[in-house]
Amino acid sequence: MSSDDSVAPGTAAEEEDMRGLSEKVALVTGSSRGIGAAIAELFAHHGANVVLHGRDREALATVQARIHGNGGQVMSVTGDVRSSADLEAMRAQIELAFGPVDVLVANAGGSAARPGPIEDISEESWRADIDGNLTATFLTIKCFLPGMKERGTGSIITMSSAAARRAHAQTLVAYAAAKTGVQILTQDLAAQAGPYGVRVNCIAPEMILTEKNQLQGLPEEQQQALIQSHPLRRFGTAEDVARAALYLASDDASWVTGVVLDVNGGAIMAT
């Protein structure tokens, strides 16, 4: 299952419960596919004016057309989230078309590295993972937070990973370090921004089926071994993460801030 599958509408009770997104402007960075696209589609289904972001214009157009086809309000922006200038240009474009951002999902990130000993990690690879995940999240928040504080309301959701929740010899070290930094950044920001009416939370997914990681392409025996490591006995989907994001963005989470929410089928149980 991939995030290209449209998110099915919820029941009437779910519609009522997930209140507070109607006509709010929600920017989801890194939403041309995968988890970001699933979040954007579910937010649009619940009434948000969604802003897609990515570098692949063709993929963005596909997600945008799907949201439009389901009756949602959506626009797309492109830009490098590691660049303050690009982010400011995106913010101006969004505010001109939709108004100020009410909900920010700083989802863009990832890693092209391979597991290996720390001493074999190149400086270039290290900086790429830190900049693409931690610095990008910092700069994105820095761009949109002042407006939220000025208006006295807002919800920010960052994206960590199970790699930042447990140590493992095969972990992508730079990526895990960056995502751990995202978690601390989230909680420090929650403490700073709370008095201004801005909530800040983090999601830490693990073993999520997306187009990019192609878990379904693994040999059956390896898939089953991975599934057996999860108490819920399946892989996660992009829609699982999207529903967690929907909760954190909604008014149902109005008393929730500074949380790192594990979405991992029970593979990691933090205390």
Q: Which helix (H) or strand (E) holds 90?
A: helix 84-97
Using a pLDDT cut of 90, give the percent of the chain over it.
Answer: 67
In terms of residue numbers, what domain contains 112? 20-263
DSSP assignment of 149-209: HHHT-EEEEEE--GGGTS--TTS-HHHHHHHHHHHHHHHHHHHHHGGGTEEEEEEEE-SEE
Does residue 227 form part of some domain?
A: yes
Give the CATH number, domain containing residue 205: 3.40.50.720
pLDDT digits (tens, 9 = 90+) for 60-76: 999 999 999 999 999 99
Q: Per the domain annotation, does 220 fall within a domain?
A: yes
Q: Residue range 206-218: average pLDDT? A: 62
Residue 269 located in a structural domain: no
Q: Give CA–CA dist 171/162, Å, rounded.
A: 10
Q: Which residue has the tokens 């929600």?
A: 26
Is 256 contained in some domain? yes
Q: Look at residue 75 and give its three-state secondary structure.
A: strand
Quick check: is 247 catalytic? no
**Strand 208-209, strand 260-263: pairing:** unpaired
- 144 forms beta bridges with none
In a 3-state reduction of DSSP, which class is residue 16?
helix
184-206 confidence digits (pLDDT tens): 999 999 999 999 999 999 999 87
Poorest-pLDDT segment among 18-27, 129-138, 142-151, 250-259? 18-27
Nearest of 209, 109, 112, 121 to residue 161 by alpha carbon = 109
Global pTM exceeds 0.85: yes
Q: Which two tokens stand for residue 192?
A: 């700073």
Q: What angle do CA 256, 257, 260 make, to 5 degrees?
A: 100
> Does residue 54 fall inside a structural domain?
yes
170 inside domain: yes
**Number of domains, the chain:** 1
pLDDT band per the 50, 70, 90 thresholds, residue 254: very high
Residue 270 lies in a domain: no
Cα gap 172→178, rounded to integer Å: 10
User: CA-to-CA distance for 173 and 191, rounded, in angstroms?
Assistant: 27
Which residue in the list 98, 138, 175, 235 is annotated as catalytic?
A: 175
Residue 5 in any domain: the answer is no
